[in-house]
C-alpha cells in the first residue's frame, strides 16, 4: 500500500464550536458527528451533499449505532441514554446527573464486540473533587470502570481483531495501548504507545484495516498515522488548528472524515484558519473498518 498523503476533496463548513465523535453509518451511507458545545448532532450524506442536524437536550460527548435499532446510544455530558431522533425520546441507562460535579462524558465508541465505552473528563478543575474514568456499558448492566485518574479521556479505538485497545489522556500528551480480553472484559499490559510534542494533544482516533492508528492532534494541525509498534508512518497537515476526531467512511471505506473545532480561537486566528469548525473530507490509499454496533444482549 502506498504512502501518498490523503487528498482534501471537500469540506462541510458548519462552523462547529467543538466538532467531535465522527462515525460512518454504512446503512445510511452517511457520516455522523456531534458539536458538543452547540448540543447538536449532524448527519452528512457524502454522495448527495445533504446535511441534517438535530438539537439535543444535553451536550453529546459521543454516541454509537445499535444493531437492528434506529436509536443511538449516547454519552450525554451528564449520563448514558438511548436517543430516538425520530421523536426526541431519551431513555436513560445511566443517569442523568450521576457524575461528580466538574466532570462530563467525552470521547467513546462501540468496541468490536458490541460494548459501548465512554470516558469522562475534568471540565471544571475548581469544582471537580475526583478525576475522570473510562467505562464500558451494556444496557441493563452496571457500568464497569476500567481506567481511573484521567484528566481528559480521549483517543479510544481498537485493533482490527479487537484485542488491543488504544486510549489517550489528552493533557498528558500520551496514547497508551492495552491488551483487551473481551470475554472477561478486562484490560491488561498497559504500555506507552505514542507521546506527542509540546502544544499537541491526542484527540479522537480510528484504526484502518491494516492496523494503523490514526490520531487527530489538537493544537498540532495534523493527523498522524502510527504503525502497530508506535512508529509514525504518515503525518497529514490539516488546514485547522484544532482537528478533533477522525473516521473512515464512504462506499469503499477509503475516505477520511476529520472533525474540527473553533472554540477558544481568537478572531484573528479564525480569519487565518477559516476552515476551523468544518468537517474535512480526504481521499486516501487506506481502508477503514465498518463501525461496530451496540449489541443489546451480550453473546460473550
Give the per-residue SS3 of 63-74: EEEECCEEEEEE
How many CB atoms are closer than 10 A to CB 25? 17
Task: Read off the pLDDT of each residue in 296-300 and give the average, rounded to a whole number.
Answer: 66
CA-wise closest residue to 32 among 60, 9, 57, 67: 60
| pLDDT tens-digit series, residues 139-175 | 878 899 999 999 999 999 999 999 999 999 999 999 9
Please report which helix (H) or strand (E) contains residue 88, including its range: none
The answer, yes or no, to whether residue 284 has pLDDT greater than 90, is yes
C-alpha cell at 270: 479564525
pLDDT of residue 142: 87
Contacts of 28 (CB under 8 A, 6+ apart): 43, 45
Q: Is the pLDDT of residue 1 over 50?
A: no
Asked if residue 67 has pLDDT above 60, the reply is yes
93: nearest Cα among 130, 125, 124, 118: 118
Could you list the beta-strand ranges (E) of 196-231. Answer: 201-207, 213-218, 222-226
Cell numbers linked to 153:
479521556
Per-residue pLDDT band at 299 (split at 50, 70, 90): low
Structure confidence by residue, pLDDT tens digits, 35-63? 999 999 999 999 999 999 999 999 999 99
Residue 90 cell numbers, joined: 431519551
Task: List pLDDT tens digits, range 234-259.
Answer: 999 999 999 999 999 999 999 999 99
Please say whether the beta carbons of 132 and 156 come within 8 A. Answer: no
Average pLDDT for 72-79:
96
16 pLDDT more than 60:
yes
- Determine the Cα–Cα distance for residues 53 and 55; give it in Å rounded to an integer: 7
pLDDT at 96 over 90: no
Q: What percent of the chain has pLDDT over 90?
A: 91
Residue 57 burial (10 A CB sphere; 0-12, 13-18, 19+): middle
- In this prediction, residues 123-145 reach a mean pLDDT of 91
Query: Please, what is the end-to-end C-alpha distance for the chain in angstroms?
Result: 34
Q: Which residue has the cell 436517543?
A: 83
Q: Domains in the chain, please, with CATH?
A: 7-283 (2.120.10.30)
Q: Taking 60 as the threshold, does the pLDDT of residue 300 lie above it?
A: no
For residue 273, pLDDT over 80 is answered with yes
Predicted local distance difference test score (pLDDT) of residue 2: 46
Kindly tell me if the per-residue pLDDT of 298 is higher than 80. no
Average pLDDT, the chain: 95
pLDDT tens digits for range 182-205: 999 999 999 999 999 999 999 999
The model's confidence at residue 99, banded by pLDDT at 50, 70 and 90, is confident
C-beta of residue 65 within 8 angstroms of C-beta of residue 25: yes
Task: State yes or no: pLDDT of 4 exceeds 90.
Answer: no
Collapsed DSSP state (helix, strand, coil) of residue 12: strand
* pLDDT score, position 234: 97
Amino acid at each position: 500500500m502506498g504512502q501518498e498523503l490523503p487528498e482534501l476533496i471537500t469540506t462541510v463548513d458548519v462552523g462547529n464550536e467543538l466538532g467531535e465523535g465522527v462515525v460512518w453509518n454504512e446503512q445510511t451511507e452517511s457520516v455522523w458527528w456531534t458539536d458538543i458545545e452547540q448540543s447538536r448532532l449532524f448527519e452528512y450524506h457524502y454522495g448527495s451533499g445533504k446535511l441534517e442536524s438535530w438539537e439535543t437536550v444535553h451536550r453529546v460527548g459521543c454516541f454509537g449505532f445499535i444493531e437492528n435499532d434506529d436509536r443511538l446510544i449516547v454519552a450525554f455530558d451528564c449520563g448514558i441514554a438511548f436517543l430516538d431522533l425520530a421523536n426526541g425520546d431519551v431513555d436513560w441507562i445511566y443517569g442523568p446527573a450521576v457524575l461528580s460535579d466538574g466532570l462530563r462524558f467525552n470521547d467513546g465508541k462501540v468496541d468490536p464486540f458490541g460494548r459501548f465505552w465512554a470516558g469522562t473528563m475534568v471540565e471544571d478543575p475548581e469544582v471537580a473533587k475526583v478525576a475522570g474514568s473510562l467505562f464500558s456499558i451494556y444496557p441493563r448492566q452496571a457500568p464497569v470502570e476500567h481506567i481511573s485518574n484521567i484528566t481528559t479521556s480521549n483517543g479510544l479505538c481498537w485493533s482490527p481483531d479487537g484485542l488491543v485497545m488504544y486510549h489517550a489522556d489528552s493533557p498528558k500528551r500520551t496514547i497508551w495501548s492495552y491488551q483487551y480480553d473481551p470475554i472477561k472484559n478486562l484490560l491488561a499490559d498497559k504500555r506507552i504507545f505514542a507521546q506527542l510534542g509540546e502544544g499537541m494533544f491526542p484527540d479522537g482516533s480510528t484504526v484502518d484495516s491494516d492496523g494503523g492508528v490514526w490520531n487527530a492532534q489538537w493544537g498540532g494541525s495534523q493527523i498522524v498515522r502510527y504503525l502497530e509498534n508506535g512508529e509514525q508512518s504518515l503525518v497529514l497537515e490539516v488546514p485547522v488548528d484544532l482537528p478533533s476526531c477522525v473516521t473512515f467512511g464512504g462506499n469503499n471505506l477509503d475516505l477520511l472524515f476529520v472533525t474540527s473545532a473553533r472554540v477558544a480561537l481568537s478572531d484573528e486566528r479564525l480569519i487565518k484558519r477559516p476552515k476551523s469548525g468544518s468537517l474535512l473530507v480526504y481521499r486516501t490509499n487506506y481502508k477503514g473498518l465498518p463501525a461496530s454496533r451496540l449489541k443489546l444482549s451480550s453473546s460473550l
